[in-house]
Amino acid sequence: MPTYTPPLRDMQFVLHEVFNVADEFKAMPAHVETDADTINAVLEEAGKFAAEVAFPLNIGGDTEGCMLDVKTHAVTTPKGFKEAYAQYVEGGWPALSCDPQFGGQGLPHTVNQCVYEMLNSANQAWTMYPGLSHGAYEALVAHGTEEQKKTYLPKLVSGEWTGTMCLTEPHCGTDLGLLRTKAEPQADGSYRLTGNKIFISAGEHDMAENIVHLVLARLPDAPKGSKGISLFVVPKFKVNADGSLGERNPIFCTGLEHKMGIHGNATAQIALDGAVGSLVGEPNKGLAAMFVMMNAARLGVGNQSLGLTEVAFQNALAYAKDRIQMRSLSGVKAKDKDADPIIVHPDVRKMLLTAKAYAEGGRALQIFCTLLLDKAHHHPDEKVRKNSDELVALLTPIVKAFITDNGHISTNACMQVFGGHGFIKEWGMEQFVRDNRINMIYEGTNTVQSLDLLGRKVLGNNGATLKKFGKLIGQLVEEEGVNEKMAEFINPLAYLGDQMTKFTTEIGFKGFQNPDEVGAAAVDYLRVAGHLVFAYMFARMAQVALRKIAEGSTDPFYTAKLQTARFYFAKLFPETATLMRTARSGSKALMDTDAALA
């Protein structure tokens, strides 16, 4: 059976020693009282819930899955899920980072992100139920009417109700301009929605008394394509004027998807048969409102893979220390045993360190991004808010695609450490691989994220936001450029930073002549950008570790951090050279292939 220990020490290192978040919060009136002790206490308690309540349900939830009663359309979640959610609600966890005016605790997003990393390590399928509610909350805060906010937000914040996002239809996924669900205006100002949705995570369940669906649909006079999409809030049970639940709304689960992973989460097929809803935001501008939820979800999906990378690494490391097989190539290491532990073998260490480096780099990037979100929402300086918002927009597709791709690499590597046992269910490793695989697909596939990064976020503003991130790199290079002990971290970062401008300009020029060039280069480009960001994060972490050691610290944590950073720059970062070469190879080898694909 797998185990899980919340990585509190590493979280505290990134939060307090690398990014000094408590000092950052002092500049934000909403978070001025959030100090390091408060953050640490919250994360410690959250870690206990993740490890002691959610984690023990993970394998059982995967085995049992969800059950649909086709007559009543009711879905039963795996044993223990409902009770764990009740405990989660009782502890006030859904309200952690929500606005106090709606019953929230008002803590920073940065803290909430760390809580959700631990929950995702413990049980991604379970965590998706409360996780999706945060996206619904954010969308309604940004675009809901006062009546909608009053009706839905306190219940979403308390966790009494959960939320979903209903986008995908059987004939369209990412291309939402093709959706057909209709919304007919009614005399009382409401709308009746009719259509079918698929792949709706947490779309029906028994864990909360009501589900608040955010549904994309078309008004009768809507223009074709994405410019004719509106957003509606459609509750499972109608809500009476006094806030009590009314009659069942005709929005039903008609089937559950049979999936590769996340079996404990109800991925529902949803039918709307004249379901009553209300318009969110302006008519025909539903995508703008929904993107608030989608962008939050994209950061959340990256966090899911971060969580799985961490828990897979922990278990692979423990196994590698215990499992004996063959002798070390450089001589016997365990003289009292018939063979050496497999951790002595170089390639086993490579697999373990790959997962460790991708977990620690991903954690630093996630915390960096959520700190930017807190600044974008709460910093009193408008310029700081604007710059933070722009950087988050740039980094969101990297968080979603780079961290989930790395999660795929890492969970597979950790399964490989177990050898044949990794393929066996009881060890838990194959579930981490299966559960992670969806993260590369939903909320916009990783190719879509790559096109968004290169086409919209970089070339769309002539690299202006990328240059802002480049300034952060430049500041670090200037600060540490003459420090010989930092050279092994700073020099590769500075070199790639310089190359990135030329690389981007070259791809952009070719794309201007032939748009397929952007499509051919985008995936490789995002991975190069991901390594640029990770290199910056590891250089920042190495900077702190070196300073602590210079100050006399003998804590092995700092030595371990330096060793992980060295591994990252030596064994993972160099793939950028290959990626830039393949990105520059152009579209011809892909598109001039009619005979090969006939």
CA 266 to chain centre: 19
* Of the candidates 49, 292, 60, the residue with the CA atom closest to the CA atom of residue 163: 292
- Report how far residue 155's alpha carbon sits from residue 160's, in angstroms, rounded to the nearest whole number: 5
Going by C-beta distance under 8 Å and a sequence separation of 6 or more, which residues neighbour residue 51? 4, 5, 6, 118, 122
The residue with tokens 């590698």 is 320
461-467: list long-range contacts, CB under 8 Å, 24+ apart: 463/501, 463/504, 463/505, 463/508, 465/390, 465/391, 465/393, 465/394, 466/394, 466/500, 466/504, 466/529
Q: DSSP letters of 123-167?
A: HHHHHHHHHHHHHHHHHHHHH--HHHHHHHHHHHHHTSEEEEEE-
- Please say if 310 is a catalytic residue: no
Residue 235: strand pairing partners: 212
Beta strands in 456-550 (DSSP E): none
**Could you tell me which residues come within 8 angstroms of residue 299 by beta carbon, excluding any fewer than 6 positions away?**
113, 366, 369, 370, 396, 399, 400
Which of these is catalytic: 24, 138, 443, 517?
443
Residue 36 CA to residue 43 CA, distance in Å, equals 11
Amino acid identity at 582:
T
Q: Nearest to residue 284, comparing CAs of 213, 220, 192?
A: 220
Q: Kindly list the catalytic residues.
A: 443
